[in-house]
Structure 1
Amino acid sequence: IHRKKSAMLVKRTTMSLRREDGPKPTILVPHGQYCQWPHLILLCFAITSVEVLPTALSFTVLPPLYRSPHAGYSRHLRQVEVDGKHGGLRLSGSSDDIEQLEKIYDLRRFTKPDTVVSTVSSDSRRAATFTVLISACGAILGPFLDSYHSAFGVLQYDHPLLPLGDDLSGFLTTATWVPPLFGLAGFIIGWLYLLLDLYFSDGGGWISVNADVNKLYPDVPKILAGISLFTFQYWLSGFLFLNGADRLTITAIISVIAAGGFVTFDGTVAGLLVSLATAIGGPLIEYGLIHTLVGTGEGYHYTDSGEFGWGFPLWIIPVYFLGGPAVGNLSRGIWNWIGGKNPSTCEVCNDTRAQNCPNCDGKGYYTTNNKSISCKSCRGRGLVICRTCFDRYGDDPYDIENVRRIMSRLPD
């Protein structure tokens, strides 16, 4: 530095990255005619790698506050502030503040499986009653629907059971093992619906994809309409088969009805998953029954062995698919009826999702010193989002961006 003026000038620049613990590193950066931007960028990257990454990795990396915690994680809430005085970064918030926030949000031991199990097991009598009712509904309704296919010649039992007499054989044709099998199907589909509804709905902080709470509380007309459409689809598939419709035509018609029925009467992610599982699992079970019961005298077979010789035509798949919404809404209705839980109108916002701004009393402005000032809380609209009914719609009250999206869609 003390050499002749013609020598290269060197300027010391002190760069400091401040942490809560540890010394402040001082790094000499040459500045002058030989210092170029690529060198400076690489040097900054090296500083970041050496100083910032170890500090970042020393803390648990977790989602932001408005996101749901993953199982097994605890949330450490610390803000990162810009230290204007020293030009660095600083972690703010004492350990006491963090402990208090964790107590408020109660996120330390929160896991999805625990919540599902606790919700179902909290009322064992309700769960047992639901199991009996949904199984009984499956055992009673299933054989009558299956009889449509027997009446139209879609399938035949080796030795059908006719408890109501030969004169009513077209009304009810079944076998001894059919009612219990349909009862088991009702049990499985019903519980899958309830558990997946719990999993995908709000449930105390989970990500909600069943946004419309009314879908989880179907009324009696909707339940009966869904079952009626499923019954009609069952009948129509047999009717088309009897009148010589080809496989592709039956598959196309039944698939359109199944898709329309799902969108109309369900439309939830839980329902879609269960319906797909039913559409796949049902034919697989039939494949096993057809080939296992051969020669036992208790078997059955489809008149049309199907496109691939599996023992059934492929149009049976959309028939099974529509069984999901029919049984699912019935399950929801039974579960809600047993528990006495039905959605009531929000007493604060009357289900409009908005309420008067408490800061300006719904005016959008307030008066001070004889001047009208636009309210910043509601941005002059006079309305703020209703936080009373957040749980009804599966929304997170701490997701600010989502709150803004909801408010932007609401009319003034």
Structure 2
Amino acid sequence: MAAERPLPNLWHTTAPAAPETVPLAGDRTSDVAIIGGGFTGLSAALHLAEMGVKAIVVEARMIGFGGSGRNVGLVNAGMWVKPDDLIATLGREAGNRLLGELGDGPSLVYDLVARHEMQCEAVRNGTLHMAVGAEGLKDIQDREAQWKKRGAPVEVLSAEKAQALSGAEGFAGALLDRRAGTIQPLGYARGLARAALAAGAEIFTDTPLLGAERKGDFWMLKAGRGTITARHVIIATEAYGGTIAGAPWKAHTQELTILPYFQFATNPLADNVASRILPERQGAWDTGLVMTSFRMDQQNRLVFGSIGRLDAMAEGTHRAFAARSVRKLFPYIGDFRFEYWWDGRIGMTSNNLPAMHVLAPNVVSVSGYNGRGIAPGTVFGRALARHVTGDTSAIPLAETPIAPDPWRKLKTAFYHAGAQAKHLIDRRF
């Protein structure tokens, strides 16, 4: 497994403890084997177990190790792509179905949180898409019009109202989406794991998938120090699927450009300051070419993020940019310090939409959430569970062949270097 530079991640500190799990040892049988212990895999395991189907999850590291434990925590509806553009890509029937499923995605997330009493700082007061300049305002106005004709409760706010709801200065307006909200993402992942275990699923951590062999109608998977024999396999590794040397079924990662994203979290802010920043506790992100995001947690910490990787060379640049941005957005903030900082990978596809692949007989995956992991991951986990139990129309995507992107490594490097260069000079004046 590729080594990672350890970073202090806020979510690891404030999430409830993970349920007790152990590495796989010995031989197991299951109806479905699920590779990956993030939102998608855990949602699939929970929904399978609730249907009475035996499911085993194997996770190479720990529950929520990948994007599920590094997410901003915005539970957004739909995809980043505008509705009309999504339909233009997928066609009217398929596009409307995907929009419907993902538009209802936050409801599925918050229903699961309530039903299983998950402790994950869940707040459903909407999210704010902040407009940067006249171009950004036009963008959110287009989004409002396209979602409203589909009956979505969205509203473009004036610059004054946007400042009042966000506490941030300098934006031309904001799109408020009342379907959406925020959670503590690792707390949610651990909550899904706990609920899946309670329903009868099994989860093994520190258990990388090392090999697979087809035997009749079944797969024999070598994982960690054991094996799993299963009729169906769900691959739910998303942007972290290529990190295990020698693991099978990684071809889908060759169509994902990796967009690095970092976050810095402040010390708990004084009540008189914290009450002015996102007073209704929406989460926010902007329309900037190099996007930034900000939200609050339950301890009154401000969490600020943007594109970039916190390697040893780039961390100082991104840290300085984050500090300048916080002071410019919230000039009343006073003294603060960053107590936590971490980064993660976003899997980007060429059309900015997820893709569903049949990687081998009875082996299926959905990947490419393009920065919308929480609600889509939960929705597609449920859909994958239904798919492997016989409902072949459950996944709101057509199966497509893997389309490797020959430029993915170059684009990944460009995102990292470009963000660092922009953050070196941005918001200095």
Larger proportion of helix? 1
TM-score by length of 2: 0.20
Larger proportion of strand? 2
| Greater RCO, CA 8 A, separation 6+ | 2
